[in-house]
Amino acid sequence: MTWRVACIITVGSEITRGLIQDTNSNWLASRLNSLGVTVKRIISVPDDKSEIAWALKSCLEVSDIIVVTGGLGFTADDITLEAAAEALGVKLVFSSEALEMIKSRVRGEVTYQVKAAYIPEGSKPLYNRTGVSPGVHLVLSSKHIFFLPGVPSEMRTIFEDHVKPLLASTTYYSRTLLVRTRYSTETEVYRLLEPLKYKYTWVYFKTHAKTPVEVVVVIQANSLIELEERTRSLISDLEKTILIESLEYT
């Protein structure tokens, strides 16, 4: 079993300036986790070459999957691919495949949009069916780097169309349970659950300080059958360990 680890990088000065809420990283974290990928770091940086480079390098040190969003557009501050190419020591080259994708998405003549056809050498463009800029997939020392547009709808469809199939073929299954307990303090529940944490290393428990206390339980497995077995076994142990008010699949 090789556990897969990802980092998420969201690029855009509008994020670090607090002008917009970055929802891409939350969506990606949720999707990656549901595909059995552990997200180790989420980093947001401004449209700044050295910060983009730093984020990429620091993520390459600890993960084998990196998803970058933002900065793939046509204005001069869209510098993600340029910064990435420099940081990773590859050239930015013209891709006729990317240009074809762009042409199929633009009414009339392609002019300033040509910028999005320059992608890191050795990478592949990923068709964008909701916008113009293609996503980009780069494999480097067996690590997968995905560059997706910052516009949430475009980011999501490219992820579902291209990134998910690539990751799903080799990854894991997961399920989230919401357990409402009959306890009033988080600490009490936390202590009771402690032994289960050691028994089930493939389970993540998170208690929430509501009254009564709620526990979010995430179960991970290598197959759907294993996921069913693990869910059954865990629920049976949970029922012996804590007083459960209700249990929902979320």
The tokens of 69 are what? 């969003």
Number of residues that bind its own copies (CB under 8 A): 52
Q: Which of 216, 235, 244, 247 binds its own copies (CB under 8 A)?
A: 216
CA atoms in the 13 A half-sphere facing the CB of 149? 22
Buried b (16+ CB within 10 A) or exposed e, 213-231: bbbebbbbbeeeeebeebb
Q: How far is the CB of 8 from its own copies (least distance, A)?
A: 8
Q: Which of 1, 19, 141, 211 binds its own copies (CB under 8 A)?
A: 19
Nearer to its own copies, 40 or 91 (CB): 40
- Is residue 29 at the binding interface for its own copies, with CB under 8 A as the rule? yes
Nearer to its own copies, 246 or 250 (CB): 250
Nearer to its own copies, 93 or 178 (CB): 178
Distance of CA 169 to the CA centre of its chain: 16
Q: Does the N-terminal peptide bond of residue 120 adopt cis geometry, omega within 30 degrees of 0? A: no
- Is residue 42 at the binding interface for its own copies, with CB under 8 A as the rule? yes
Nearer to its own copies, 34 or 123 (CB): 34
Instruction: Determine the Cα–Cα distance for residues 131 and 154; give it in Å rounded to an integer.
Output: 6
Q: x/- site string to its own copies, residues 141 to 180, per CB under 8 A?
A: -----------------------------------x----
Q: How far is the CB of 121 from its own copies (least distance, A)?
A: 26
CA angle centred on 128, ends 126 and 129, rounded to 5°: 135
Nearer to its own copies, 123 or 151 (CB): 151
Query: How buried is 236 (Cβ within 10 angstroms: 0-12 exposed, 13-18 middle, 19+ buried)?
Result: exposed
CA angle centred on 125, ends 149 and 73, rounded to 5°: 30
Nearer to its own copies, 123 or 150 (CB): 150
- Other beta carbons within 10 Å of 127: 16
Residues at the site binding its own copies, with contacts judged by CB under 8 A: 13-23, 25-34, 38-46, 51, 54-55, 58, 73-77, 112, 176, 185-187, 190, 194, 204, 206-207, 209, 216, 218
